[in-house]
């Protein structure tokens, strides 16, 4: 493991969190966002830009359920 304390902390966060996988073997979208958000601050700017685009695509592809309120 690296001597860099920030890298150790990041790896510890990832190690302690269990990740969910879809039936087709892909990382669950919510966990993918968590992983990408963990990696983004550690990357060079050009890579950060690409990772941010991936996070945005994931967010747009997810359906969001909201409660419906009705008056009777």
Q: Give per-residue pLDDT as tens, 7-60.
A: 666 555 555 567 788 899 888 888 888 888 888 888 999 999 998 888 888 776
Q: Of 3, 5, 32, which Cα lies nearest the Cα of 17?
A: 32
Dist CA 32 CA 44 (whole Å): 19
> How far is residue 4 from each of residues 21, 56, 63, measured CA to CA in Å?
30, 29, 38
Tell whether pTM > 0.85: no
Q: Give per-residue pLDDT as tens, 50-61.
A: 988 888 887 766
């Amino acid at each position: 493991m690296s001597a860099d304390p920030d890298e150790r902390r990041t790896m510890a966060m990832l190690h302690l969190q269990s990740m969910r996988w879809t039936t087709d073997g892909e990382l669950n979208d919510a966990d993918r966002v968590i992983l990408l958000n963990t990696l983004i601050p550690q990357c060079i700017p050009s890579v950060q830009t690409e990772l941010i685009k991936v996070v945005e695509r994931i967010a747009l592809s997810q359906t969001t359920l909201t409660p419906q309120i009705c008056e009777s």
